[in-house]
Amino acid sequence: MVLTPEAIDKLKGKTILVVDDENELREVVSTLFKRAGCTILEAENGILARNQIEKTNVDIVITDVRMSGGDGVELLEWIKKRTGHQPVVILVTGFADISESEALSRGAKAVLAKPFRLQTIVTTVTEAMG
Protein backbone atom coordinates (compact mmCIF):
# COMPACT_ATOMS: atom_id res chain seq x y z
CA MET A 1 0.00 0.00 0.00
CA VAL A 2 1.54 3.27 -1.12
CA LEU A 3 -0.38 5.61 1.17
CA THR A 4 -0.80 4.24 4.66
CA PRO A 5 -3.13 5.95 7.15
CA GLU A 6 -0.02 7.08 9.07
CA ALA A 7 1.47 8.67 5.94
CA ILE A 8 -1.79 10.43 5.16
CA ASP A 9 -1.94 11.80 8.72
CA LYS A 10 1.58 13.25 8.41
CA LEU A 11 1.08 14.65 4.92
CA LYS A 12 -2.48 15.97 5.02
CA GLY A 13 -2.54 19.74 4.69
CA LYS A 14 1.11 20.05 3.62
CA THR A 15 2.08 22.04 0.55
CA ILE A 16 4.41 20.23 -1.82
CA LEU A 17 6.15 21.75 -4.83
CA VAL A 18 7.01 19.19 -7.53
CA VAL A 19 9.72 20.45 -9.90
CA ASP A 20 10.59 18.43 -12.99
CA ASP A 21 10.81 19.10 -16.70
CA GLU A 22 9.09 15.75 -17.41
CA ASN A 23 5.33 16.42 -17.42
CA GLU A 24 4.41 12.77 -16.84
CA LEU A 25 6.62 12.44 -13.77
CA ARG A 26 5.25 15.68 -12.29
CA GLU A 27 1.72 14.43 -12.88
CA VAL A 28 2.29 11.01 -11.26
CA VAL A 29 3.98 12.46 -8.17
CA SER A 30 1.43 15.28 -7.87
CA THR A 31 -1.53 12.92 -8.13
CA LEU A 32 -0.05 10.62 -5.50
CA PHE A 33 0.35 13.38 -2.92
CA LYS A 34 -3.02 14.96 -3.75
CA ARG A 35 -4.56 11.65 -2.65
CA ALA A 36 -2.89 12.20 0.74
CA GLY A 37 -4.62 15.56 1.11
CA CYS A 38 -1.64 17.72 0.13
CA THR A 39 -1.79 20.99 -1.74
CA ILE A 40 0.35 20.53 -4.84
CA LEU A 41 2.22 23.16 -6.81
CA GLU A 42 4.16 22.33 -9.95
CA ALA A 43 7.03 23.90 -11.87
CA GLU A 44 8.98 22.68 -14.87
CA ASN A 45 12.31 24.21 -13.83
CA GLY A 46 14.15 25.92 -10.98
CA ILE A 47 13.35 29.46 -12.06
CA LEU A 48 9.60 28.81 -12.09
CA ALA A 49 9.96 26.97 -8.77
CA ARG A 50 11.56 30.05 -7.19
CA ASN A 51 8.55 32.10 -8.24
CA GLN A 52 6.22 29.58 -6.57
CA ILE A 53 8.28 29.58 -3.35
CA GLU A 54 8.28 33.39 -3.21
CA LYS A 55 4.47 33.45 -3.47
CA THR A 56 3.51 30.45 -1.35
CA ASN A 57 4.68 28.92 1.90
CA VAL A 58 5.86 25.50 0.68
CA ASP A 59 6.59 22.69 3.16
CA ILE A 60 8.61 20.44 0.87
CA VAL A 61 10.19 20.61 -2.58
CA ILE A 62 10.69 17.48 -4.66
CA THR A 63 12.98 18.51 -7.50
CA ASP A 64 14.77 16.92 -10.39
CA VAL A 65 18.47 17.74 -10.52
CA ARG A 66 18.96 18.12 -14.25
CA MET A 67 16.67 20.67 -15.93
CA SER A 68 17.18 23.60 -18.27
CA GLY A 69 16.05 26.93 -16.88
CA GLY A 70 17.51 26.42 -13.44
CA ASP A 71 18.48 23.00 -12.13
CA GLY A 72 17.66 21.37 -8.81
CA VAL A 73 21.06 22.01 -7.21
CA GLU A 74 20.82 25.73 -8.00
CA LEU A 75 17.30 25.72 -6.55
CA LEU A 76 18.53 23.99 -3.39
CA GLU A 77 21.32 26.55 -2.96
CA TRP A 78 18.89 29.44 -3.52
CA ILE A 79 16.48 28.03 -0.93
CA LYS A 80 19.23 27.62 1.65
CA LYS A 81 20.49 31.21 1.12
CA ARG A 82 17.13 32.95 1.38
CA THR A 83 15.64 34.24 4.56
CA GLY A 84 12.22 33.22 5.78
CA HIS A 85 10.55 29.84 5.57
CA GLN A 86 12.86 27.19 4.13
CA PRO A 87 11.13 24.10 2.80
CA VAL A 88 12.65 20.64 3.00
CA VAL A 89 14.29 19.69 -0.32
CA ILE A 90 14.45 16.22 -1.83
CA LEU A 91 16.57 15.86 -4.97
CA VAL A 92 15.70 13.33 -7.67
CA THR A 93 18.27 12.38 -10.30
CA GLY A 94 18.80 9.85 -13.02
CA PHE A 95 22.48 10.74 -13.38
CA ALA A 96 25.51 11.17 -11.15
CA ASP A 97 25.24 14.97 -11.24
CA ILE A 98 25.73 15.18 -7.50
CA SER A 99 26.66 12.54 -4.95
CA GLU A 100 24.28 11.82 -2.11
CA SER A 101 26.81 13.00 0.47
CA GLU A 102 27.38 16.26 -1.42
CA ALA A 103 23.64 16.88 -1.74
CA LEU A 104 23.10 16.22 1.96
CA SER A 105 25.97 18.52 2.90
CA ARG A 106 24.38 21.27 0.79
CA GLY A 107 21.12 20.91 2.68
CA ALA A 108 19.05 18.35 0.82
CA LYS A 109 17.05 16.06 3.09
CA ALA A 110 17.33 13.09 0.72
CA VAL A 111 18.38 12.04 -2.77
CA LEU A 112 16.33 9.60 -4.85
CA ALA A 113 17.56 7.89 -8.00
CA LYS A 114 15.31 7.64 -11.05
CA PRO A 115 13.48 5.45 -11.62
CA PHE A 116 12.05 5.24 -8.13
CA ARG A 117 9.15 3.31 -6.69
CA LEU A 118 6.15 5.35 -5.56
CA GLN A 119 6.40 3.74 -2.14
CA THR A 120 9.98 5.04 -1.86
CA ILE A 121 9.01 8.65 -2.52
CA VAL A 122 6.06 8.44 -0.10
CA THR A 123 8.30 7.00 2.62
CA THR A 124 11.04 9.57 1.96
CA VAL A 125 8.65 12.54 2.02
CA THR A 126 6.82 11.24 5.09
CA GLU A 127 10.11 10.80 6.96
CA ALA A 128 11.29 14.25 5.85
CA MET A 129 8.15 15.81 7.29
CA GLY A 130 9.06 14.37 10.70
Tens digit of each residue's pLDDT, the chain (130 residues): 688 889 999 999 999 999 999 999 999 999 999 999 999 999 999 999 999 999 999 999 999 999 888 889 999 999 999 876 788 898 888 776 788 888 888 889 999 988 888 999 999 999 988 7
Note the pTM of the prediction, 2 decimals. Answer: 0.92
How many structural domains does the chain have? 1
**CA atoms of 6 and 83, how far apart (whole Å):** 32
- Residue 2 has a pLDDT of 81
DSSP 100: H
Structural domain containing residue 16: 5-128
pLDDT of residue 1: 61
Supply the CATH number for residue 57's domain.
Answer: 3.40.50.2300
- Taking residue 37's Cβ as centre, other Cβ atoms within 10 Å add up to 13
- Contact (Cβ atoms closer than 8 angstroms) between residue 105 and residue 35: no
d(CA 105, CA 45): 22
In the chain, where does DSSP find H-type helix? 5-11, 23-34, 46-55, 72-81, 100-105, 118-128
Per-residue confidence (pLDDT) for residue 70, from 0 to 100: 85
pLDDT at residue number 113: 87
